[in-house]
A and B are shown apart, each in its own frame.
Chain A
Amino acid sequence: MRKILLVGNPNVGKSVIFSRLTGVYVIASNYPGTTVEYTKGYMHLGDEKIEIIDVPGTYSLDPTSKAEEVAVKMITETEGILIDIIDATNLERNLNLALQLIKLKRPMIIVLNLWDEAGHIGIEIDKNRLELILGIPVVSTCGITGEGIRELVKRIPEAKVSDFEYEKDERWGKIGEIVTKVQKVRHRHHTFLERLGDATIHPLTGIPIAILILLLIFFIIRRIGEGLISYLFDPIFENLWAPLISSLSRSIGPSIFHDILIGKLIEGRIDFVESLGLLTTGLYVPIAMVLPYVFAFYLVLSILEDSGYLPRLGVLVDTIMHRFGIHGLAIVPMLLGLGCNVPGALATRVLETRRERFIAATMMAIAVPCMAQIAMIFGLVGRYGPKALFFVFFSLFVVWLILGILLKTLIRGESPEIFVEIPPYRLPYLKAILTKVEMRIISFLFEAVPWVLIGVIIVNILYVSGVISFLGTILAPLITGLLGLPPEAVAALIIGFLRKDVAVGMLSPLGLSESQLIVASVVLTMYFPCAATFTILLRELGIRDMCRSALIMIITALTIGTILNLIFTVF
């Protein structure tokens, strides 16, 4: 099968064009380095089926980060047509990669994407002339609206090897010549978005704005999450699902099936959090407790991603991140980790060195709870009011800070400084936001719900077989002695290996006090990542670094849990 590789600088819209060509959705955002892994898809050209590969962005064929390394390796090792996607608003810089690609002597097409934006800011490019100079097809597109995609598909068969020759040392000179020949720039005034953009990166205005934005985000997520739960999901489960399950419960009668499907009846009634059956807790936790917050989080995150704010936030927090031996862009994996630690772990690839990736991944896995877990903490600890919630998240934040400082001194290696393109602000495109949220919700449902169900089954097996009470007895000195939790809390710690949200839910029937709940919530966040995150971390860090990271996790969790327990016992 013939292959086509979509290549180009970071943040030029490769992923959007990939989705247009293949119909396969991939997450696209407005910051460099959204795509850190390649994605494959297929398109039909006449009778022929062609494989399309969305390659992570790279500025040149000399890689400077892990994501770029992946990109360059793919470009040089995979046979096929190269479609070089160029940001039409940045012709000169993008031609640098284009001319390097031309030297590979592969059939090529050039796509001038963001064509409409270039027009808006007064840039005119004579694409016919560029085509004549380079001797390969040049097509203009606007990925987000789909303009020009048909033309691109039509011209794929015309892809050919460029006959443009130049000496390696004179590349920038040649690029200058080309740009003077094909590009005209009209002078223009600064737009409102640009002035707003400047305010968000000046330290005096930028830091207050950042704090305001983060508070607003927190407020919006809680409002949407709580609203959806109390006005939509709870009524559905209480009024429609509960009666149905109750009658099912009566018709099955006490049996092993009843235990697995419906679980225990609490005071003769179904309790969606505590019953621990597949059809009760197994559905209620992921759908009615977690999903609303996951939805709210991804809605807000997607708007932030597409606006172009994230790299600016990275610049503002850069000085703080330096204390941890990482740089400002590490805020991206941390923020993504708040949604789910899996994409968070993958996003550490925006960092250049092994040391930085290790520090960022370990900090995230330990101190950044995912939305599923946060939702459950809201549900359980939130009953004791905002002070209890504050205690949980403040403890995690302090751990995050101290851990960062410690890791910087403990982990050897290099930490280069921030060096990143700041994309222009763009008004998020509503349709793109909705599709992105929809895809993330679907992947949440397909990835989380099965794990939750498996978790619920395993809990039942562990209880029935007596493993829980056995481990509870063995680990009692640790769990009761150090952390001040009842031995049964060991069940939550075991299930936490599978899913953190179910684990937090399992604390509910234990009758914990407020301070015990806080300790348990903090320890459950830190002690180990869930199965899905563990798999990704293992792949990203390698087995040796993963073991080191896991050791740090367990030590931190025990230490902090003990300290918190001490604080609560003393005061």
Chain B
Amino acid sequence: MTLTELKPGDEGIVMGISGGRGMMRKLESLGIRIGVKIKKISSQLMGGPVIVQVGNTRVAIGYGMAHRILIRPVG
């Protein structure tokens, strides 16, 4: 599933990112890359940003970007 489908409070492993090199680089700079475990904290109404926790960092990710992050839910 994609990050937008993951329920707030649930955790998952990043399985893939369908985006160009620029987007990969951007996500990577805040520690979001394939194989990393992230926790979804919240989502906004009407296609607003998704907030995830990765390590000790919380990151707000635009809906479209979050939609292109593939997640395998865990636990």
Contacts and interface: CB of A to CB of B under 8 A. Distances in A.
Contacts of A546: none
A318 B59 contact: no
Contact of A417 (B41, B56, B62): B62
A64 B44 contact: no
Interface in A452-487: none
Interface in A44-63: 59-60, 62
B25 A419 contact: no
Contacts of A316: 44, 48
Report which residue of B29, B64, B65 has the largest number of chain A beta carbons within 10 angstroms of its beta carbon: B29
Contact of B64 (A60, A89, A93, A417): A417
A314 B30 contact: no
A92 B31 contact: yes
A121 B49 CA distance: 27
A198 B65 contact: no
Contact of A198 (B30, B41, B45): B41
Contact of A422 (B33, B43, B58): B58
B6 interface: no
Given A316-B44, A319-B46, A123 B56 contact: yes
Given A90-B56, A315-B49, A418 B62 contact: yes
Contacts, number: 95
Interface string A94-124: 0010000000000000000000000001010
A96 B48 contact: no
B46 to A, nearest CB: 5
Contacts of A328: 49, 60
A224 interface: no
A417 B65 contact: yes
A366 interface: no
A397 interface: no
A510 B59 CA distance: 53
A73 interface: no
A422 B51 contact: yes
Given A64-B26, A417-B65, A201 B56 contact: no
Contacts of A419: 26-27, 30, 59-62, 65
A417 B63 contact: yes
Interface size class of A (residues with CB under 8 A): 20 to 34
Nearest to A89: B56
A560 interface: no
Contacts of B59: 419-422
B42 interface: yes
A188 B7 CA distance: 23
A548 interface: no
A419 B50 CA distance: 10
Interface in A189-236: 198, 201-203
Contacts of A424: 58
Contacts of A201: 41-42, 51
Given A60-B25, A93-B31, A422-B51, A319 B56 contact: no
A319 B45 contact: yes
A312 to B, nearest CB: 8
Nearest to B48: A319
A104 B9 CA distance: 40
Interface string B20-35: 0010011111110100
Contact of A418 (B33, B42, B49, B56): B49
Contacts of B27: 419
Nearest to A204: B45
A544 to B, nearest CB: 26
A384 interface: no
A423 B28 CA distance: 18
Interface in A108-142: 121, 123
Contacts of B65: 417, 419
Contacts of B56: 89-90, 121, 123
A284 B43 CA distance: 49
Given A202-B42, A203-B44, A315-B44, A93 B57 contact: yes
B57 A418 contact: no
Contacts of A123: 56
A64 B57 CA distance: 19
A176 to B, nearest CB: 10
Interface in B50-75: 51, 55-65
Interface in A276-332: 311, 314-316, 318-319, 327-328
Interface of B: 8, 22, 25-31, 33, 41-49, 51, 55-65
9 A-B pairs with the lowest CB-CB distances in the bound complex, closest first? A417-B62, A59-B29, A422-B58, A93-B31, A319-B48, A60-B29, A315-B60, A418-B62, A203-B45
19 contacts: A90-B31, A92-B55, A96-B28, A121-B56, A198-B41, A201-B42, A201-B51, A315-B44, A318-B44, A318-B60, A319-B44, A319-B45, A417-B62, A417-B63, A417-B65, A418-B49, A419-B60, A419-B61, A424-B58
Interface of A: 59-60, 62, 64, 89-90, 92-93, 96, 121, 123, 172, 198, 201-203, 311, 314-316, 318-319, 327-328, 416-424
Given A316-B44, A417-B65, 7 more contacts: A59-B29, A90-B56, A121-B56, A201-B41, A328-B60, A420-B59, A421-B30
